[in-house]
Structures are given as structure tokens and as C-alpha cells.
Amino acid sequence: MSAIIQSIEAILVDIPTIRPHQLSMTTMGVQTMVIVRIKDSDGLEGLGEATTIGGLAYGPESPESIKLTIDTYFTPLLTGLPADGINTLKVRISQVAQGNFLAKSAIETALLDLQGKRLNCSVSDLLGGAIHQHIPVLWTLASGDTAKDIDEAQSLISAKRHCDFKLKIGSRALMDDVRHVAAIKAAVGDSASVRVDVNQAWDEATAAKGMAELQAAGIDLVEQPTPMKDLAALVRLSQKFHLPILADESIADASDLFSLSAGGFSGAVALKIAKAGGPLEALKVAHVASAAGIGLYGGTLLEGTIGSVASLHAWSTLEQLHWGTEMFGPLLMKDDIVVKRLNFHDNGVELPAGPGLGVAIDEDKLAQYRRK
């Protein structure tokens, strides 16, 4: 007989960041995670996480709304049902809740973790099996100060912790951003890849000028230069420059990417379990990308260890991640709520071993950072 879902708990956790993290729409000093714990009738527990950037500044779900959705709608819907019918539970949720992809992702992750523990296998095994045990990870240089960013990049290159860097731009005047980025690229030279994330801050005309300047400066990739709904602009820009564009906010699920690729877009896509609705749904996006010849990148919403590991299990099953990943969220936080932190080395991170996600909660740390 299948184990039954007995309880679902959604917990708000606030952890300070190691430094202010600047984006085009906000600056973060604290990251708030929604940690989900699903317990079954056999006493096993599955862990999940839903995390966004800067409250409501980034998207339509906030940590508080995610917790409310899970507590009010998902918990009574799923409690008492078989815990191993993941697809059935996903369909049931989708029938009563439109959108709410971050909340859905946390639930799907916890169900996969629970199933892995039950079967004594990893989440990556449930997803088809890991091809990679060590996955490349870039670092975001987001102080906004050119000299500080150069020092930080060179230090991380020397330590072999990161050799790919992303810069958050778009909040300043275009040429100020270009000069900032170009100086960093000139300083690191061929020892590192430098990319930029505009977070939708430019209109198409500004993006065209910006991409011309960035292309000349040797930048490798431009992430989401224009507003998320302006798919035609992404297509035109991707056809105008050999500097690749990374579609991020424009792509939530597989149907979004199908529409963009059918329109003539060439470039890359940022896979995110949060915006897709879970690891299974994110891999559907990857399959469409592979069919369309679009490059893959493992994206983050700056999740903590639980959410990052869920993503890593999914990314580990992909044969090629053309642009690596940005699963550095745990490194951005001053502390952690898991017993064993991730092992970042040699410009990447190790996939945790063990059943399910391979991570366990540190109850004392959870109590310390849990929102009162």
C-alpha cells in the first residue's frame, strides 16, 4: 500500500546575503526562502524550496504569497493522497491553481525528494540518471563598483572557484554600464568568460546599441536585454548580432520556448525549475531547446541549498549545458540551514550523494532563521 501524505508545512526563512546584490529592479540584502516539508504515513519527509528575488520586484509571486498558496490551497488538496503518484498530484494541483509556478516547484521537489528516499535512490536517478557529478557554476559580480568587481573576479579565478562571470546591468546609463563591463573583461582577458544580465531593462533601440558595444568589448552572452513579453525584439536582436542572447524571463515553460524558437530565435535559454513549476517541467523546456538547436543554461532565482540541489539533479541529467550554470545561491548567503553545505571547487560544484536530494535540514539553523 502506498504511503499517504500526512502533512505539508511551508516555512519562511530569512538569511542575510554576504553583500548587497544589485539587480536592475532592486538591491537585495536578505534572501527569503520558503522551505516545504512533506511528511508521509511511513514517517519519511521530503524537502522542497521556493525562492524568488527581491519580494515582488521580480515577479508575481512573493515568499509570503507562496506560503499562503501552499497553506490555503495545496495542503488541503494533497493531504491524505498517495505520496508516490507525483504526476497525478501535479495534475490535481494544476486543475485548481493557474500559475503559481514557484509554489508548484517547491511541492514537486519535495515529492521527488520523498520518492527518492522511499526508493533509496537520488532525484537524478528518478529523472533518468546523472551524466555529470561535477557541474560548472559561474559567479555574479554585483557590487556595482568596477575595481571591487575586478578584484573579486581575479581572486576567484586564482582560487579556481569560478572562471565564468555574470554582471547585472541596466540600472545605470547605457554607456556607464558598457564601460564598467568592458573594463572588467579587459582585466580578466581570456582567463574568464564575461556575460551580462540586463533583467529586461532596455527597449529594443537601447539593446541594439548596447549589444553592439558589448560585442566589440568581447562579452560572450547577453541575458534578457528587453521586456519579457516582447518576443519579437529578442528574435530581431538574435538575428542581428553574433553575440548570443540568453532568454530568461521570456521563457517559463516548454510552450513559451516553442513559440520563441518558431519565431526564429537563435541563442540560449535559462532553465529554471522555479519558473517552470519544478524539475520535471524544466527538463521539458530543455527537450524543446535541444530539438530547436537552442543552447542550455542552468539558471537560478538565488535559491538556497535545497532549491539549488533540486536544480543540480535536473541539470546533471542533461548531456550538454552549453553555457554552464549559475547555481551559486548558497554562496551568496551568510549562513545555511542544511547539515552539510555544497562542495564548490574547480569552477563548479559536486552533485550531493545519497537518497532523494541528498541534503538534510539543520534544525537549529532553521529555528534561528525561521521568520517569527
Active site residues: 168, 326
Following DSSP, what letter does each residue of 77-145 receive, concatenated? HHTTSBTT-HHHHHHHHHHH-SS-HHHHHHHHHHHHHHHHHHHT-BHHHHTT--S-SEEEB-EEE-SS-
Distance separating alpha carbons of residues 330 and 308, to the nearest angstrom = 8
CB 204 within 8 A of CB 233: yes
Instruction: Beginning with the edge strand found earlier in the chain, give each strand of the sheet holding 134-136 in spatial order.
Output: 134-136, 348-350, 344-345
60, burial (CB in 10 Å: exposed 0-12, middle 13-18, buried 19+): exposed
Q: Which residue has the cell 542575510?
A: 16
The total number of residues written for the chain in this structure? 372
Radius of gyration of the chain (CA): 20
Please give the helix or strand (H or E) that residue 27 lies within, else none.
strand 27-40
